[in-house]
Amino acid sequence: MNISQFKRMVDNYLSGNASRREAAFLQQWLDKAMAEKEVPADSDIQRQQVLDNLRLAIYEPRKTSIWKYSMAAAASVSLLVAALVYRFELQDWLNPVPVQMVTALKYQVKKVVLPDSSVVVLNGGTTMMYPKYFRGRKRSIKVNGEAFFDVMPATAPFIITGPNLKVQVLGTSFVVTDSIGIQSPKVSVKTGRVAVTAETVTRQLGEAEELVFNKTQQEIKIYTQQTVNTGWISNKLMFNESVLSAVFSEIETLYRVKIICVNKAAAGLKFTGAFEEADTLDDILKVISLSYRLSIHKNKDGTILIK
């Protein structure tokens, strides 16, 4: 629903021609707007006046046709002004943008290009939620885990919300490590500047700086680094002392194949290694088989046997 449609709905309501559904919808919006008032702090009084005028036009007794016409016109104009000022908030509530969720598997490194062409690389086990397209004065996403961001410069701020930290930038590159179970979430800046908020405290970070938030002590510390560790972002899979049975399970999920490890003793061996985006399934299996002198056999049905 656009602003013109919204204004027509109000006009219908004030003239007594609104359907029952339209009337219920408008009342729901008024109640929600007055209860939450999710607007900039300096606009609360202005918006409250708009809502009060609209309520007055709807609920006060209809004394004369002139009074009715005047109040209806005033309320319509007021609502239109409010719609122009808060058009993106209205659109988000009336017609929310579809949200997409992407998750990197436990040992997977996953690259995602956002609607504004910003690039995000998710480390293993990380989940990100983002809108199908960005609307209005901000670009907001949610992350749980570790992710590298290369944000496309724009006038709309880019906001990342995690379980413990909130990061806001315009255009820069950095790593966010923040999940529900982590004790010390952190943000590491590679280029540019970012603003990081932990609880109610906000700190500014520049290039090669890292903020660490100790949740137990409610303490923020900022460190200077020579380089930010981003070597992992060029990988596709990363394993660190992972048992082969878990390695094969991850490969099965990623490549949608069936792997049977006939050699039961080998299934419990531990593997450490990383594979890049260019590495194929055959490349990965070859490295693993050579590391442990295993043999690989592919059945006609596509099943892969590890002996």
Supply the DSSP string of the chain, one letter for each residue.
--HHHHHHHHHHHHTT---HHHHHHHHHHHHHHHHH--S-GGGHHHHHHHHHHHHHHHHS----HHHHHHHHHHHHHHHHHHHHHTHHHHHHHHSPPPEEEEE--TTB-EEEE-TTS-EEEEPTT-EEEEESS--TT-EEEEEEEEEEEEPPP-SSPEEEE-SSEEEEESS-EEEEEE-TT-SS-EEEEEES-EEEEETTEEEEE-TTEEEEEETTTTEEEEEE-SS---GGGGEEEEEEEEEHHHHHHHHHHHHT--EEE--HHHHT-EEEEEEETT--HHHHHHHHHHHHT--EEE-TTS-EEE-
pLDDT at 62: 47
pLDDT at 261: 86
Contact of 139 with 159, CB cutoff 8 Å: yes
Domain 99-229 is in which class? mainly beta
Q: Is the pLDDT of residue 94 over 80?
A: no
Q: Is the pLDDT of residue 63 over 60?
A: no
Average pLDDT value for residue range 173-189: 92
pLDDT at 277: 81
Query: For the chain, what are the domain ranges?
Result: 3-94, 99-229, 233-306
pLDDT at 184: 93
Q: Which of 69-73, 82-86, 98-102 has the highest mean pLDDT?
A: 98-102
Please determine whether the domains at 99-229 and 233-306 fall in the same fold group of CATH.
no
Q: For the chain, give the mean pLDDT.
A: 80
Cα(72)–Cα(53) distance, integer angstroms: 10
Q: Is the pLDDT of residue 160 over 50?
A: yes
The CA distances from residue 299 to 102, 283, 296, 303, 305, in Å, are 32, 18, 10, 5, 8
Q: Is the pLDDT of residue 218 over 60?
A: yes
pLDDT at 43: 43
Cα(241)–Cα(244) distance, integer angstroms: 9
Amino acid at 151: V
Please report which confidence band the pLDDT of residue 231 belongs to, taking 50, 70 and 90 as the band edges. confident
Average pLDDT value for residue range 235-251: 87
Q: Is the pLDDT of residue 171 over 90?
A: no
Q: What angle do CA 155, 129, 186 make, to 5 degrees?
A: 75
Q: Is the pLDDT of residue 42 over 80?
A: no
* Fold topology of 233-306: Phage tail protein beta-alpha-beta fold (3.55.50)
Tell me how far apart the terminal alpha carbons of the chain are, to the nearest angstrom. Answer: 61
Q: Is the pLDDT of residue 262 over 70?
A: yes
Token code pair at residue 151: 């944000």
Cα(288)–Cα(203) distance, integer angstroms: 45
Average pLDDT value for residue range 210-220: 93
Q: Is the pLDDT of residue 245 over 80?
A: yes
Q: Is the pLDDT of residue 292 over 70?
A: yes
